[in-house]
Amino acid sequence: MENNFGKLSKLSLTAGVKDGRTILEDLSFTAPFKIMRPFYEKKDFMTVMLLTASAGIMAGDRQEWDFRIREKAKMEFVSQAYEKIHRMEDGWAERRACITVEPGGCLYYSPLPTIPFAGSDFRNVLKVNLVDRTSRFVFSEILSCGRVAHGEQFLYSRYQNLVTVYQEGKMVYRDNTRYNPAQTDMQGFGMYEEYTHLANLLICNEDKNDDWIRAVRGILDESHGAEGGVTRTTAGHIVVRILGRSGQQLTNLLNGILVL
C-alpha cells in the first residue's frame, strides 16, 4: 500500500526554552500536515495545533510523528477537528509516533476525538520516552463507536492502538488496544455495553495524591450518562477510563479532571 500523498507523511517538532518561554526550536512537516502558529492560552504552556489539508485518514495513508520536549519546556499538542477515519475498501492506514520528554519537560497530548467510519482499518503505535521522573506527560484520547447519527455503531473493520511508555529506559506502561467488531461483541458485557464513546487518560509524573484520586472518583460518580474508574499503576502513574455517550461529554469530563 502506498500513501495517497505519494510518500510518507511526516511531522517532526522540537520544543525548547528561550528567555524563560517555551518556543518551537525546530519544525518540519509534509502533506497533509500543517501547524498553526503556536499560541499561549495557558500560563507557561505553548499550544501547538495540528492542521491537516485532507478530509481525514484514507486507506494507504502512512504517517510518522516525532516530538521532542527539551529540558523545562512545556507544550500542549491539540488538533483542529475530530479525526475521521474513512471507509477502506482495501488495505489500512497507520501512524507511528515517537515522543521524548527531557528532564523538567512537560507534554499534554490531547487531540480531539476519533471517529472510525464503517469499513475503516486504522493502526496506531505511540512510543513515549520519559528521560527521568521529572519528565511529565499527560495523554488523553476519545474513541467513538463510529458515526452514530448514520447508524454506524461498531461497523469499522479494525481499530488498533498500541501505547508504550518508558521511564529511565524501563517500560512503565503498555496499553495494546485491538478492536475487531466482526469478532468481538463491542456492546457486550465488559466492553462498551450501552455506551458509544470511550475516553482514556494517562497522567505521568504529575503530583497527584490519594485525595486527588478520591476527587476524580467523586466526579465520575456524580456524572450523568457516563461511568468510569481511576487507578494508580505500579510506577505511580494515573490511569482514568470513562464510558459515555458523546465526545463532547467526555471532553468536558476530562477537562474537569485535569483542572482539579
Cβ of 174: how many Cβ atoms within 10 Å? Answer: 10
For residue 18, count other CB atoms closer than 10 A to its CB.
9
Q: What pLDDT score does 160 carry?
A: 97
User: Once rounded to an integer, what is the mean pLDDT over residues 111-140?
Assistant: 97
Does the pLDDT at position 225 exceed 70? yes
Which of 57-61, 113-117, 123-127 is predicted least confidently?
Answer: 57-61
Q: How confident is the model at residue 44 (pLDDT cuts 50, 70, 90)?
A: confident
Q: What is the pLDDT of residue 38?
A: 96
Tell me how far apart the alpha carbons of residues 180 and 36 are, in angstroms, rounded to a whole number. Answer: 35
Cell numbers describing residue 122: 486504522
Q: Give residues with Cβ within 8 angstroms of 189, minimum separation 6.
A: none
DSSP-based three-state secondary structure for 239: strand
Count Cα atoms within 13 angstroms, Cβ side, for 5. Answer: 20
Q: What's the whole-number mean pLDDT along residues 113-140?
A: 98
SS (H, E, C) 209-237: CHHHHHHHHHHHHHCCCCEEEEEECCCCC
With b for 16 or more beta-carbon neighbours within 10 A and e for fewer, the 84-120 pattern comes to bbbbbeeebbbbbbebbbbebbbbbbbbbbbbbbbbb
Give the pairing of strands 9-18 and 62-69.
Answer: parallel
Across 221-234, average pLDDT: 95
pLDDT tens for each residue of 16-39: 999 999 999 999 999 999 999 999
What is the band of 4 on the pLDDT scale with cuts at 50, 70, 90? low
Q: What is the DSSP letter of 8?
A: -
Q: C-alpha cell of 100?
A: 521524548
By DSSP bridging, strand 106-109 and strand 74-79 are parallel
58, amino acid identity: M
Q: What mean pLDDT, rounded, does the chain reach?
A: 95
Instruction: Indicate if the pLDDT at residue 56 is higher than 60.
Output: yes
* Angstrom distances, CA of residue 135 to CA of 90, 105, 107: 41, 5, 9
Please say if the pLDDT value at position 103 is more than 80.
yes
Residue-level pLDDT at 7 = 73
191-216 in b/e burial notation, b at 16+ Cβ within 10 A?
ebeebbbbbbbbbbbeebeeebbeeb
Q: All 3 cell numbers of residue 260?
A: 482539579
Q: How many residues does the chain have?
A: 260
Helix (H, G, I), strand (E, B) or coil at 67: strand
Taking the C-alpha atoms of residue 154 and residue 192, their distance in angstroms, rounded to an integer, is: 10
